[in-house]
Amino acid sequence: MLLVAAALLSSAQITPPQTTPTPPAPTAAPQPAILRGHVVAADSGQPLRKAQVRAMLIDPPPDFTRGAFRERSTTTDVDGKYELADLAPGRYNVTAFKSSFVSATWGQTQPLQPGAPLDVKAGQTMDRIDFTLQRGGVITGRVFDEYGEPLTNVDVAAMLARFVNGRPEPQRTSSASTNDLGEFRIFGLMPGQYWLQATWRRFGAPADPTSPDRTGYPDTYFPGTTSVAEAQRFTVRAGQTVGDLVMALSPIKTSRIEGTIVDADGKPIGGAVINLVKTEAPGGGFGYVAGQMSRPDGTFMIAAVAPGDYVLRTQPTPTQKNTAQMKLTVGAEDVKDLRLVALPPSTISGRIVVDPAQASSLTTPLMIAAMPFENAMMSPLQAVRVGDDLSFEVTAPAGRVRITVTNFPPGWIVRAVRVNAVDVVDDALDLKPGEATNGVDVEVTNKTATLSGLVTNARGEAVKDCTVLVFAADSKRWTPGSRYLRVSRPDQDGRFKIGGVVAAQYSVVALDRFETPGQWNDAEFLQRISAKATTVSVLEGETKTIDLKVTTGS
């Protein structure tokens, strides 16, 4: 017994003590970076006080925490100086703003051109990130009626000429309302060619349906035509005032729209909110004209309507979810006996599908909506929050819609939208009134592709003053707002990096300039430069390097 006890004691004495492993030393946080510079006026070189400077992080890394700041902003001091501190390392777009001036992003050479990113290293201090802001142009004038009396509360819009498929098309930029003297002043305009459009609206109480006064005024373009094709275009330069433009509006006889709103069973709907929206406004898309509430018997009347194309639609309310919508053309005669049928909305239900390995990175509550396919202004749009179990149910008026997801963390996209196992992510769903579309799978991912590379000239020198255009090789995807179109600029070293690219085959080209701002939205232009582009295929999650030679964009 003594020998056994001694052996046990000896064994206990020679057993090494157990120790707790030393935890690894925490990784040191990267040192913040600093940007400094000046903001001055282009015409005088004088410093601009209280200009705002904003830095926005491009394509944050996957480990970029939700609490970290993607955006930093500051204002210039009395000497036009600014400092942006505590910047995380990464690539930034830096933009300067000030009222009455044309905003500019660092690296821009012309308005509406994308800026060049700044590649900021940890602990780096970058000086001389300077901005020279052009003073915006100004248009002033007066609007009169047929008697030479000033017209008040007329909306006067400056419409910038943008070229689409080789033709100038108006794009509404800024506007102002006429005062009691009929005067207007539109300021802060970027250099370019403009049309001027005056739009009259009857203000105050709704027009008296029994009044014999049917006078109204059509949309009129300077100097006094109702056709944009016959309107005069004029050039506004930086800091220039184009003044004393006089527009006299010619009266027209307006019409009335009368009808009844009923439900699917033909029962009148009282208290429905009915809006009249103009659909032919060039550059502005749609414009609200008038609103009316149906009477208890479902009848309604909208007076003082100028000739044109419109959409008559109802506004859904918490107690009245059924909606109605009708396109109509108003001429010189009254529109009577309309029957507006309010139909129950459609519903789309399903779930968000995500790879379990990626799910922990999906840190924000997603929002989902059914957006009208042709134009978002055609019908109400209401986004709903996706449930904690990633399920959703969204309502939408009948018609063609597209499923959209918003509030993504950085780097996330919609990979697919499957309805009955068919992917419709780039197409439309055709919804019937009151129809329930169930089992929709909306697959999301953060495994997007990245394209990067160096742009050089014929001498092999790095080029930073150019634009890199990435567009689908398939011309069927050259649609407005296409997710297969990306525009970027090289950084200060001539290197570009474009993240969030959807897996597909692309044409990639570096252009020294564009003939007109936003020319990359022109399908004819994309067709013309395709021969100069390099074709590249990218897979999901792939990072591909492609070096480019700069070429002319004309």
Number of domains the chain is built from: 5
CA–CA dist 130, 142 (Å, integer): 39
This prediction's pTM: 0.71
Q: pLDDT band for 61, please (50, 70, 90 cuts).
A: low
Which residue in 181, 174, 188, 187 sits closest to 153, CA to CA? Answer: 181
Residue 4's pLDDT is 41
Q: Is the pLDDT of residue 258 over 60?
A: yes
Q: Give the Cβ contact number of residue 128 at 10 Å.
A: 8
Residue 7 lies in a domain: no
The string of pLDDT tens digits covering residues 285-336 is 446 667 788 999 999 998 888 888 888 988 877 677 788 888 899 988 899 9
- Looking at the fold, whether 157 and 248 belong to one and the same domain comes out as yes
- Least confident range from 5-19, 235-249, 468-482, 503-517: namely 5-19
- Looking at the fold, whether 120 and 145 belong to one and the same domain comes out as no
- Looking at the fold, whether 287 and 261 belong to one and the same domain comes out as yes
- Looking at the fold, whether 432 and 460 belong to one and the same domain comes out as no
The last residue of one of the domains, among 190, 219, 252, is 252
Residue 15 lies in a domain: no
Residue 8 lies in a domain: no
Residue 200's pLDDT is 86
Going through 59-177 in order, the beta strands assigned E by DSSP cover 71-75, 81-87, 90-97, 104-105, 118-120, 125-126, 131-133, 137-144, 155-164, 167-177
- Look-up: residue for tokens 């003073």? 135
Residue 18 lies in a domain: no
The residue segments making up the domain with residue 500 are: 449-551
- Looking at the fold, whether 309 and 393 belong to one and the same domain comes out as no
Please indicate whether residue 11 or residue 373 has the higher confidence score (pLDDT): 373
CA–CA dist 447, 352 (Å, integer): 16
User: Residue 290: CA atoms inside 13 Å, Cβ hemisphere, count?
Assistant: 21
The last residue of one of the domains, among 421, 445, 469, is 445
Residue 469 lies in a domain: yes
Find the CATH number of the domain harbouring 283.
2.60.40.1120
- From residue 69, give the alpha-carbon distance in Å to each of 72, 91, 126, 162: 7, 13, 19, 35
Structure-block tokens of residue 173: 């930029």
Q: Is the pLDDT of residue 446 over 60?
A: yes
- Looking at the fold, whether 366 and 410 belong to one and the same domain comes out as yes
Residue 46 lies in a domain: yes
The last residue of one of the domains, among 205, 223, 252, is 252
Q: Would you call 157 exposed, middle or buried from its count of C-beta atoms within 10 A (0-12, 13-18, 19+)?
A: buried
Find the CATH number of the domain harbouring 160.
2.60.40.10
CA–CA dist 239, 241 (Å, integer): 7
In percent, the amount of the chain with pLDDT more than 90 equals 51
Residue 28 lies in a domain: no
CA–CA dist 533, 494 (Å, integer): 18
Q: pLDDT band for 377, please (50, 70, 90 cuts).
A: very low
Structure-block tokens of residue 5: 């006890």
Average pLDDT, the chain: 85
